Structure 1
């Protein structure tokens, strides 16, 4: 289907929706823009996955997304690495690869947005088509392969965003300005991965609230080999030395995290935990997409596409890896839980398993921007039900390990 036809359906569908349901928004008029945006989300699903994604980024860049004007519930506020998050729900890397749409995406009410993965040199990624929806399973398979405009373009975008925030009114309604994570990758043909990551740190660290070494995408040949103990230790030492050698204010450098795969063995988990604790990594992201194909996925017409699987089928696998990593690191490291998050209950399960923060992406593709509002309400209710004064108090609640 052409973009013109999809937009025509959006206009007429949105108008009908608004006319038929306007009375339902008298008590909460701010909900209407979110629900209209969900209508747009359904129209975009008439396009192929990558084209729909590009249209969504365009809409975010041009201020066409709804804006959250309500403050977040106090229970959702948390502080990690000395940084204040108005809520623990973030947008995972892969959506805004080049930091083009930060203002629009953070305006939806995310506590933070992680951009990237960013490669030193621009590269187109793998051949198209390279993203495939499995709507019956609320899943996506992608093999983008680190398509990136490169460090210089992303650096300019981050500088522009930071400058725009200097003029943000202090009393502007809403959850408050969200934080920005920067996810770093390597170029496909690079023979020196450490040099790529170090260059990324040197150029982008001053504009990041946290940094991520992504060694777990299944779509760049040889990348996951960097998760082995010897390779990971060498890599982290070099990247950490680059970060620590830069001039910083009294607040210090941004935290450095490592993003790992869900497909790792128990030995891999132990090795990663040992390296993280030994070298003083500031946190982990658990997890990236999986190369596994659960039975329901394997039977789907698109299930055998090459690439990383994300969405609902990944939820339990990624949560179990998160649980293991929290135990192996003795609750000492903040963990960002990713994979299959589509409800407040999903986020809460990851938090109780050991996540300090959670991220989503695929569920936004299927459910639209109002998902975030619903998740915050659900998560707040679950914290209230179980007697937690704040989301921070629930971190690792399923473990006997004292929370740090």
Structure 2
């Protein structure tokens, strides 16, 4: 029979390894990728290093500096890989890569007193990794999966659970993504300044998509997937630390901080959704609100033109500044949506603007805008279009029509919590 104390120690060690890996894996993969010039190889070598730690540390105990142990062991594996490849191929350029890799070793490991130049190297490596994982040569699904794997440190099983996708499907996406980067000869480097803005848009999109899937799950039993929100928020903070002068990086961070501040108020004790206007605002996380507002203040100090994420952050801030729902400055929100529609027009943005118009000018004005979207047909399978239309009809006293619209929204959604919310609303309306 296993010794309970030994089992407890083993479990504690495994938790410690998992925590260290979640924090350090991106740095390790990024640094190894600089040595090997191949993200796929770097991720495999990092995983091999993790496996060694899982085998040795439970018996030998945690090293004094687990992160430094992992980094050093991974770098040694990377050097062995480069030397073996150079020896096998006998090519001058690969021997040159070996020399470059050895030069990368002539820097202090992660120890106390790490100098600023070395810290900059790690920052540059992380930035290269972010831009590589989110390269436009990959599909959106592949970018999301690879980013969560390389930068979030999530396992294939964790990503599959988060997106309600079969684990082999996620594994294939990751493998294909790494092969695609290799086949396209995507270099492990920052894009040239002329191309950086285009590539940055891809990076921001991936982080935004990850957060949105966590904030309102597309399908399944849960309204929220907090792990995805946490990972996206962490990535936005890393990116903001690496690119503190980029308005859209600051804007995305501000948006995610403020949105994440509402997480605890977005469900009741039974896990059922609570919509924004019904939330107990005392449950909003004021620290996250302050962090988001600080990013917006930094944007204002830079005095640069606002982009889509900064404008959305401004809308989120209007809600955050209102202590009660009825204090919300809907006129300001409409103005921000007007700017967003000019900059990044889309049917979803138009729908959100219509909601704000309904609050600022009344439901009749909003319904006219929503009916235009219904006629256009671009949101024909979007449940919130019909949910919004139903809400406006309720305010106009057209309850039987509203019931039909809300039932239609319920039929379209793939999220079970959202469906329950809508069907309960429709049931109550039908009783009037």
Where relative contact order (Cα < 8 A, 6+ residues apart) is larger, the structure is 1
Which structure's CA Rg is the greater one?
2
TM value normalised by structure 2: 0.24
TM value normalised by structure 1: 0.25
**Greater fraction of residues in helix:** 2
**Greater fraction of residues in strand:** 1
